[in-house]
Amino acid sequence: MADIRSNFVGIKSPNPFWLASAPPTDKAYNVERAFKAGWGGVVWKTLGEEGPPVVNVNGPRYGAIWGADRRLLGLNNIELITDRDLYLNLREIKQVKKNWPDRALIVSLMVPCEEQAWKAILPLVEETEADGIELNFGCPHGMSERGMGAAVGQVPEYVEMVVRWCKQTTRMPVITKLTPNITDVRQPARAAHAGGTDAVSLINTINSITAVDLDSFAPEPTIDGKGSHGGYCGPAVKPIALNMVAEIARDAETAGLPISGIGGVTTWRDAAEFLALGAGNVQVCTAAMTYGFKIVEEMIEGLENWMDAKGHATLDDVIGRATPNVTDWQYLNLNYVTKARIDQDQCIKCGRCHIACEDTSHQAITAMVNGKRHFEVIEEECVGCNLCVNVCPVEGCIDMVPLAAGALDKRTGETVQPVYANWTTHPNNPAKVAAK
């Protein structure tokens, strides 16, 4: 059996699945239930500074995007950080850690961007014996308008400054949570690294309005006829999160910096993809809010079974395996040629491949052959774009077949070359460099 125990910046947990800082980790009751269900760790919902807690709205807090089958694809959240008393949270954190010493317990923090505010809260968290802290530089709504959350995360100089304050003050590992609401996520990651962070976590939620009520003409969720932008999460954000994780993992300035991957993790496969791109563990929120805490059982079993089937003994055999294969577009092999192939035995003759190709691509799939409904690839027109594969409702019915070196590409009339060649040396590139 594969060993999926995790050691993330010295924080040990029985598996790499942590609950992210969010409504599911708001109090001891939830966290205890999560640990009983099998979660390896929890990031406690973000704590603020001492004094009156923040005030949340008393109405709808979520907007949603659904698929055709009502499956939740994305969730928009306008809830703020914890609205519970700081000391109540601290007492509960201390007790939960005592009850579950083998689980990772991280405390998310967000206080004003002032040195004294950070240095005041850190000793209080240390006293709970939590395993580490996560600096919330990602929340895009409510708190950012007050100069916290994403307002800090979008300014690399502030990120480095606050991380440095925390590292000078606490013995606990510091995880810096990054905002995706920025042009280049590598910049705050580099700043956190320069400040001494032990790890980064990403992504936090994405600024969004998920819908507009066309009767009231107000954004959803609607509070007394008005709406606000919120933080978008769930399966729909996974591609964005994967890219940002990969960007940091392969950046020369942050290479080797531990990453906690967040964003749309719903299945074991999602988690494995994050790990393969360089994340040391994953954090989950929307999947738990949709299906309940016991979804972690499927994640654990699925990851173990896949690792066993592939011969991966530990998480280290998986972490970062895909990172070297992520490259810039200009380095992709332009001599690699594929053609679509339709399995006629599996084809249900729905015609989606034809109409997608005919209307929006390269007119490379027939609709009729010899007077009969028949869908077949016209190799002379096929550019290998694989749109047909993605719109086909039958998995495996259409695949992409690479042409061997020396074969004739009927579209171009040229022979497929056996050597690697990319845009940097292509004759059409006005800035081409000499081939080595």
pTM: 0.96
| Token code pair at residue 58 | 């008393």
Burial 241-268 (b: 16+ CB within 10 A, else e): bbebbbbbbbbeebeebbbbbbbbbbbb
Q: Does 375 have pLDDT greater than 80?
A: yes
CB 152 within 8 A of CB 139: no
385 among known catalytic residues: no
Q: Are the C-beta atoms of residues 281 and 6 closer than 8 Å to each other?
A: yes
Residue type, 207: N
pLDDT in tens, 42-73: 999 999 999 988 999 999 999 999 999 999 99
- Nearest-5° angle of CA 234, CA 240, CA 245? 110
The confidence score (pLDDT) of residue 434 equals 66
- Per-residue pLDDT, 436: 52
| Encoded amino acid at 64, one letter | A
**Number of other CB atoms surrounding residue 355 within 10 Å:** 13
pLDDT at 186: 98
pLDDT, position 144: 79
- Choose from 78-87, 265-274, 422-431 the range with maximum mean pLDDT: 265-274
Of 301, 249, 236, the C-alpha closest to 276 is 249
Does 245 score more than 70 pLDDT? Answer: yes
Inter-residue contact 78 to 143 (CB < 8 Å) = no
Q: Which pLDDT score, from 0 to 100, does residue 143 have?
A: 82
435 pLDDT more than 70: no
Closest by CA position to 94, among listed 2, 31, 180, 17: 31
| Catalytic pick among 139, 233, 382, 397 | 139
- Measuring CA to CA, how many Å separate 309 from each of 298, 305, 313, 344, 407? 16, 6, 10, 31, 35
Residue 247 is predicted with a pLDDT of 98
Residue type (1 letter), 333: N
pLDDT surpassing 70 at residue 256 = yes
Structure tokens at 214: 């066309």
Using pLDDT thresholds of 50, 70 and 90, give the confidence band for residue 181: very high
| Tokens (6 digits) for 411 | 């579209």
Query: 129-174, pLDDT tens digit by residue?
Result: 999 999 999 888 878 778 888 889 999 999 999 999 999 999 999 9
- Spatial CB neighbours of 390, under 8 Å, sequence gap ≥ 6: none
Rounded mean pLDDT of the chain?
Answer: 96
Contact 375, 364 (CB under 8 A): no
Give the model's pLDDT for residue 140.
82
* Residues 233 and 204: beta-carbon distance below 8 Å: no
What Cα–Cα distance (Å) separates residue 60 from each residue in 181, 265, 285, 291? 24, 24, 18, 20
pLDDT confidence of residue 139: 84
Mean pLDDT of 64-92: 94
The pLDDT score that the predictor gives to residue 220 is: 94
Q: What is the pLDDT of residues 272-323, one digit of tens each?
A: 999 999 999 999 999 999 999 999 999 999 999 999 999 999 999 999 999 9
123: burial class by Cβ within 10 Å (0-12, 13-18, 19+)? exposed
Let me know: does 6 contact 99? Beta carbons within 8 Å: no
The pLDDT of residue 277:
98
Q: How confident is the model over 27-52, as a mean pLDDT?
A: 97
